[in-house]
Amino acid sequence: MDQGVLRELADRFGQAAVLAQPTRDGIPTAWVSSELLAAVLRYLKSSPKGAYPMLWDITAIDERTRVHREGQPPSDFTVVYHLLSLERNEDVRIKVALSGEHPSIGSVTTVYSNADWYEREVWDMFGITFDGHPHPFRILMPPWWEGHPLRKEHPARATEMGPFQMSSEDAARMLSMMEFRPEDWGMKRESQEHEFMFLNFGPQHPSTHGVLRFVTQLDGEEIVDVVPEIGFHHRGAEKMGERQSWHTYIPYTDRIDYLGGVLNNFPYVLAVETLAGITVPDRAKVIRIMMAEIFRIISHLVYFGTFTADIGQMSMVFWMFTDRERAFDIVEAVTGGRMHPAWFRIGGVAQDLPSGWDTMVRDFCAYMHKRLRDYDASVMKNRMVKARMVGIGTVSAQEALEWGATGPFLRGSGVSYDIRKNRPYGGYDMFQFDVPTAAHGDSYDRLAVHVEEMHQSLRIIEQCLAGMPAGPYKSDHPLATPPRKERTMHDIETLINHFLGVSWGPVIPPGEATFVTEGSKGNHGYYLVSDGGTMSYRTRIRTPSFAHIQMVPMMSRGLTVPDLVTILGSIDYVLADLDR
């Protein structure tokens, strides 16, 4: 891996100011001081040798109990900034070491607009203060919460914290704490001419697709501003990673983007395989890709159906859920599960394909092609649909990059960036497919990209069907889990390895790795830190919905409430992906 960007930083800011850290994934990683941070990010954002226009993620690590920190400066809490460059097709990780129990660091919201929510999340989860942040409030935990869950001293289990009790009075008190006060957000209650109306939307509303709340500030029909409130679906998935073995965490990944099934397993197992140095046999690669693409269609069908239902076209959701059931027939035959099959394994997949799978898949592809053509006629060419979607929620390519949009959202705004194509992973380099893009970045374009992606997924599935390689479905690397059983009764070494692998789970060598894949909604990334144990030291899940919902206020200002519904429908988010 070219570490050119680190040399560039050392030339610019001095050799002593930049400390490089080798990582398992080869992403250039540099430690800088908190004083230099803003300058470094500002430089990288417009670097003449290839800009990093996107702040992809901000997260933190509680380092206080970590053992293996060879070559890293002393730190109690580390804040990690992950930037993405399309020009270089490369990422860079900037780390800042902080000391003390409740440290603080300067906010970078003035450099990257989307740092806002990420910094709030780090404050909420770790208790690290960001000086100069415009809204330093909790984002995921409720306002009455005490403590910061991802700190090592915070309990993980609910059962460690005493039974949950809530009387009607408690509930009323909690509800009053969640009441919206415009002043907290620097909003006025009235303009010079008249009062604004504050309309509460959610957390229980059919158009929010789950438990998510928006408070809209209205001037008549027009939306002046929107404040999203998230965290109602926070399920502690990252803390869970510190408590489950590397293998038993796989089912939790299914439930992140819960419409995407194995698409979630993909980045996680690839990240663990990067840490462990496992290579996956070809058959396993193609099986994984085939199942991932089937799930991409399943997820896009739900998006397509519910989006059209949101704007009032009721029949499509019934048609598309019927198609989805056909796809689930395949999923059920192959994995035994439906929405959450948890079917990928460290080193391969759970089992081989059943005999007769090819007929099922072939029939499904033939059926789906025809259905998609029908939907073109009934939705995409429908002038009522166009009237509701065209020109609504327009996002330019530059805005999309600035706010960290990825996946179909980014491609809808005209940026041709697909991880499967730009950085082929897990065997995608073996396949022929196009990356659809659109020009205007409005709601209609986002839908059109999704529809075309289903065609491309079918193309990939057909190639899997034609060229499914023979061979093992799982690696025989000693860390592949569960370990292969054939030879366990023949020699003691294999028996011991098998016993440890299925009882404690694999011990992954210390190190750090991020793996990013193209999910159905955008980039899924797992940033795993191993301290050489049977469990992860830190699991960071970077999800697309979090970035996309942060853009809603920007997208809906100046429009009306029905447009807000269209915008939400067009985004393709899912609540567990938003709050984790």
Partner 1 sequence: MHAESAGVRASTYGDLYLARRADLLAWSRKYSIWPFNFGLSCCYVEMATSITSKYDIARFGSEIIRGSPREADLMVVAGTVFVKMAPLVLHMYEQMMEPRWVICMGSCAGSGGMYDIYSVVQGVDTFLPVDVYVQGCPPSPDAFIRGLVLLGEAVASEKRPLSWLVGPQGVVRSAKPSLRDAMRPERQKQTDLRSPDGL
Residues lying near partner 1 in the complex (CB under 8 A) are found at: 140-142, 145, 149, 154-159, 161, 163-166, 168, 170-172, 174-175, 178, 203-206, 210-211, 231-236, 239-240, 251-252, 255, 258-259, 302, 317-318, 321-322, 324-325, 333, 336, 338-340, 351-352, 354-357, 360, 575-576
Distance CA 253, CA 237 (A): 8
- Nearest residue (CB) to partner 1, 318 versus 504: 318
Question: Residue 14 Cβ, how far from partner 1 at the closest point, in Å?
Answer: 43
Q: How many CB atoms lie within 10 A of CB 354?
A: 11
- Nearest residue (CB) to partner 1, 168 versus 432: 168
> 362 Cβ partners below 8 Å, 6+ apart?
465
Question: Residue 356 Cβ, how far from partner 1 at the closest point, in Å?
Answer: 4
Question: Residue 75 Cβ, how far from partner 1 at the closest point, in Å?
Answer: 25
Question: Residue 204 Cβ, how far from partner 1 at the closest point, in Å?
Answer: 6
- Nearest residue (CB) to partner 1, 257 versus 273: 257
Q: How many CB atoms lie within 10 A of CB 557?
A: 13
Question: Residue 121 Cβ, how far from partner 1 at the closest point, in Å?
Answer: 14
Distance CA 426, CA 408 (A): 20
Distance CA 333, CA 327 (A): 10
> 57 Cβ partners below 8 Å, 6+ apart?
80, 81, 82, 118, 404, 525, 527, 540, 542
- Nearest residue (CB) to partner 1, 174 versus 384: 174
Question: Residue 322 Cβ, how far from partner 1 at the closest point, in Å?
Answer: 5
Distance CA 488, CA 411 (A): 49
Question: Residue 386 Cβ, how far from partner 1 at the closest point, in Å?
Answer: 26
Q: Which residues of 146-173 are buried (b: 16+ CB within 10 A; e: fewer)?
A: eebbbbeebebeeeeeeeeeeeeeeeee
Which stretches of 264-361 are assigned E, i.e. beta strand? 344-345, 348-349
- Nearest residue (CB) to partner 1, 301 versus 397: 301
Question: Residue 26 Cβ, how far from partner 1 at the closest point, in Å?
Answer: 33
The CA distances from residue 113 to 65, 134, 446, 453, in Å, are: 33, 11, 22, 29
Question: Residue 108 Cβ, how far from partner 1 at the closest point, in Å?
Answer: 27
Dihedral angle of Cα 313, 319, 325, 326, to the nearest 10 degrees: -140
Cα torsion 548, 549, 551, 554: sign: positive
How close are the terminal C-alpha atoms of the chain, in Å? 31
* 94 close to 27: Cβ distance less than 8 angstroms: no
- Nearest residue (CB) to partner 1, 169 versus 183: 169
- Nearest residue (CB) to partner 1, 282 versus 329: 329
Question: Residue 264 Cβ, how far from partner 1 at the closest point, in Å?
Answer: 12
Distance CA 226, CA 329 (A): 41
Distance CA 72, CA 31 (A): 8
How far is C-alpha 91 from the geometric centre of its chain's CA atoms? 16
Question: Residue 325 Cβ, how far from partner 1 at the closest point, in Å?
Answer: 5
C-alpha triplet 288, 294, 298: angle, nearest 5°: 140
- Nearest residue (CB) to partner 1, 339 versus 390: 339
- Nearest residue (CB) to partner 1, 32 versus 291: 291
- Nearest residue (CB) to partner 1, 86 versus 360: 360
Distance CA 544, CA 408 (A): 10
Question: Residue 366 Cβ, how far from partner 1 at the closest point, in Å?
Answer: 18
Question: Residue 185 Cβ, how far from partner 1 at the closest point, in Å?
Answer: 19
**475 token code pair:** 């690696």
Q: How many CB atoms lie within 10 A of CB 458?
A: 21
- Nearest residue (CB) to partner 1, 141 versus 435: 141
- Nearest residue (CB) to partner 1, 225 versus 242: 242
Question: Residue 163 Cβ, how far from partner 1 at the closest point, in Å?
Answer: 7
Distance CA 107, CA 126 (A): 15
Distance CA 22, CA 237 (A): 27
What is the full DSSP assignment across 151-189? STTS---GGGS------HHHHHHHHHHT---GGGGT--S
- Nearest residue (CB) to partner 1, 276 versus 350: 350
Half-sphere exposure of 284 (CA within 13 A, CB side): 23
- Nearest residue (CB) to partner 1, 160 versus 193: 160
* 510 close to 538: Cβ distance less than 8 angstroms: no
